[in-house]
Amino acid sequence: MIVDTPVSLKRAQTLLADVRACTRCAGHLPLGPHPVLQVHPAARILIAGQAPGSRVHATGVPFDYPSGDRLRDWMGIDKTIFYDATRIAILPMGFCFPGTGKSGDLPPRSECAPAWRDILLAIMPNIGLTLVIGQYAQAWHLKGKAKATLTETTLAWRDYGQTMIPLPHPSPRNNIWLKRNPWFNEELLPTLRKRVSAVLA
């Protein structure tokens, strides 16, 4: 059932303003706070990702780069739908760019999810499908049911019911993973597209 929530819209706007003013872990952010997220009480699909990279930090537009093109292709939707907050919510595990380490971007800041995630999820009662991208989102959203590795969790996607689909990050860095795991394209993606289409219908 779709819940009509005019009160939640006001609540969402207030919460978004609070998040945008957040400086909770500012001392650890090399480029400073710049939360990047997309929320609306009417949203039907949640994209639970990792954390913005430096490009997204600069533009403020989530997934506006080749990874985003691949994610949209996986979902079978275009940018118009993807950036429509009344349909798609985008909540990374850390809202601000965490900096870069020896092997790529650092993990999402651990302060962020406990501070914001539950209260933001609570104002989106219409989410019918969550795409759980990467190990940090899987650890949070699959609530102790994630397997030992991201590959094992994603391979076990049928175990997580109709409303959760674990995914690897759509980054070109995962091209080798995608080649090694042909079941992802052959079995998981057709189901993902069908569920996205059904939830947005």
Enumerate binding residues for ligand SF4 (CB under 6 A): 19, 22-26, 33, 35, 94-96, 109, 111-112, 115
For ligand SF4, which is the closer residue by CB, 108 or 168? 108
- Contacts (Cβ under 8 Å, ≥6 apart) of 103: none
For ligand SF4, which is the closer residue by CB, 20 or 158? 20
* Distance of closest approach, residue 50 Cβ to ligand SF4, in angstroms: 12
For ligand SF4, which is the closer residue by CB, 25 or 61? 25
Cα three-residue angle 121-127-128, rounded to 5 degrees: 145
Q: At what angle do helices 66-75 and 189-200 cross, to 10 degrees?
A: 80
50 phi/psi in degrees, rounded to 5: -100, -80
DSSP E strand boundaries for the chain: 45-49, 88-92, 100-101, 104-105, 129-133, 164-167
* Distance of closest approach, residue 36 Cβ to ligand SF4, in angstroms: 9
* Distance of closest approach, residue 81 Cβ to ligand SF4, in angstroms: 26
Q: How does 118-148 read in b/e, with b if 16+ C-beta sit within 10 Å?
A: eebbebbebebbbbbbbbbbbbbbbeeebee
* Distance of closest approach, residue 104 Cβ to ligand SF4, in angstroms: 18
* Distance of closest approach, residue 93 Cβ to ligand SF4, in angstroms: 9
For ligand SF4, which is the closer residue by CB, 110 or 151? 110
The CB density around residue 195, as the number of other CB atoms within 10 Å, is 18
For ligand SF4, which is the closer residue by CB, 96 or 165? 96
